């Protein structure tokens, strides 16, 4: 079974020129626990349904390549 992971790029400020930290997560639920934002808000932000808010203004989220489990 192939599963995807999530990679969160956290930047110093809103202009997103310098990366502060890169974090990898297996699920959006794990990511939401660390960031302190509900999984629904993260999912909606990732899919472009809502504008970034709070800490998400300084982040970029990408889905990683498939990994075998």
Q: Give the start-to-end residue ranges of the domains of the chain.
A: 2-68
Cβ neighbours of 16 (radius 10 Å) = 14
pLDDT grade, residue 16 (50/70/90)? Answer: confident
Domain at 2-68: CATH architecture: Orthogonal Bundle (1.10)
Report residue 5 as tokens.
């992971």
Q: How many residues does the chain have?
A: 69
DSSP element (H, E) containing 29: helix 28-35
Average of pLDDT values for 11-16?
Answer: 88
Mean pLDDT of the chain: 89
- Does the pLDDT of residue 17 top 80, yes or no? yes
Contact 6, 62 (CB under 8 A): yes
Q: Is 51 exposed, middle or buried (0-12, 13-18, 19+ CB in 10 A)?
A: exposed
pTM of the entire predicted model = 0.82
């Amino acid at each position: 079974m192939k599963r995807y992971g999530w990679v969160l790029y956290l930047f110093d400020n809103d202009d997103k020129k310098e990366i502060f930290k890169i974090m990898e997560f297996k699920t959006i639920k794990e990511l939401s626990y660390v960031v302190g934002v509900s999984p629904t808000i993260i999912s909606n932000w990732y899919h472009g349904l809502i504008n970034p808010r709070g800490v998400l203004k300084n982040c970029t989220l990408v889905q990683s390549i498939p990994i075998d489990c």
